Amino acid sequence: MGPGWGGFGVSWLFTMATAPDAAAAPREQPADGPEAAPQGLRAMLQGEATAADIARHLDALDPAERLAQVLAVKGKWVKALYERMADAPVVTLEELVPGATAGTTLIYEGRNSLAMFTRFQKRFLRLPSGVIVGYNHQSMQWITGPGYFVLQGPDGQPPVPNEPYVDYITEPPEIPEGWPAYKPNNRGLSKSVYGNMHDYLRRVATGVVVGKAYRAGEDIDAHFSLTLAPPAPPEAAS
C-alpha cells in the first residue's frame, strides 16, 4: 500500500498502517531531508540507468545488500523507481510467490513514499488451491485492520491492464492458520485505509517489485517498494 491520500486524517491512518512493530522499526529520517551522498540504487535513479541496468545491479547483490539498497530509496525516489521500471518484464505470480512455497508465509519488506513512518511488511501465502492471499503486518492493525488482500494476475482492465495487483476488494477464500483475525476492508477505519484499493506491481529485480496505488480506479500518487526478506541466519549450535 502506498502513501496517504484525501487529507491529513487519512494520510495519518496510512502512516500508522504501514509502520512495523516498534521493536523492529528502524530509525526514520525525513524522506527528502539531509542525508549522505546517494550510492547504489539511489545513485542510479539520479543518473540515466535503464530498467535493465537496475535489474542487473540488484541481481548481482546478496539478499541483505539488495534489501538495504532498495530500502534506501525513499520519498519521491520511490515514484522515480516505479516510473524507471516501465519497460521491465511483467512480474509473474509464480515469481512473487512460487508454487513450491505453498503453505509458507513469505515476508516482503516495504518502503512507501511518505515522509515518515515509511516501513511496513506485506506477508503472502499461496493456498493449496493456488490462490495467493496476504495481509499488511503493522503495529496499528488493531485500529486499521490487517488489510487482507488477494494477489491477482494482470486482468487486461484499466487503469493498469498488464500488471499484477494487490486486490483489497476481493475477500480471501480462507485465512491461514496463525494469521490475524479477518476484518473486512469496506467497514470502519479499514475502509479509509484499504477500501476500494488496488496496488499494481512492477518487477525491479529478483525478489523486488515497486508498486503504485489506485483507489476506485483513480491514481492517488502513492508508491512503495517490496523486497523479499533475506532468509534468517542459521541459529548457532549450543
**Percent helix, strand, coil in the chain (nearest 5)?**
30, 25, 50
Determine the structural domain holding residue 221 and report its residue range.
8-228
> From the CA atom positions of the chain, what is the Rg in Å?
17
Cell numbers representing residue 71 in the block = 530500502
Counted domains in the chain: 1
How many Å apart are CA 109 and CA 70, to the nearest integer?
A: 10
pLDDT for 39 equals 75
148 located within any domain? yes
Q: Quote the pLDDT of residue 185.
A: 95
* Residue 223 in domain: yes
164, part of any domain: yes
Q: 221 in a domain, yes or no? A: yes
Say if 144 falls within a structural domain. Answer: yes
Name the phi and psi angles at 80, rounded to 5: -60, -40
| pLDDT of 38 | 58
Domain membership of residue 238 (yes or no) is: no
SS3 of 51, please? helix
| pLDDT tens digit at each of 238 positions of the chain | 444 332 223 444 444 444 444 334 334 444 444 444 557 999 999 999 999 999 999 999 999 999 999 999 999 999 999 999 999 999 999 999 999 999 999 999 999 998 767 889 999 999 999 999 999 998 777 788 899 999 999 999 999 999 999 999 999 999 999 999 999 999 988 998 899 999 999 999 999 999 999 999 999 999 999 999 998 766 655 4
Query: According to the model, what pLDDT value does residue 17 have?
Result: 41
In a domain, 236, yes or no: no
Question: Which residue(s) pair with 74 in the sheet?
Answer: none
Q: Of 194, 192, 188, 198, which Cα lies nearest the Cα of 219?
A: 198
The pLDDT assigned to 194 comes to 94
Whether residue 22 lies inside any domain: the answer is: yes
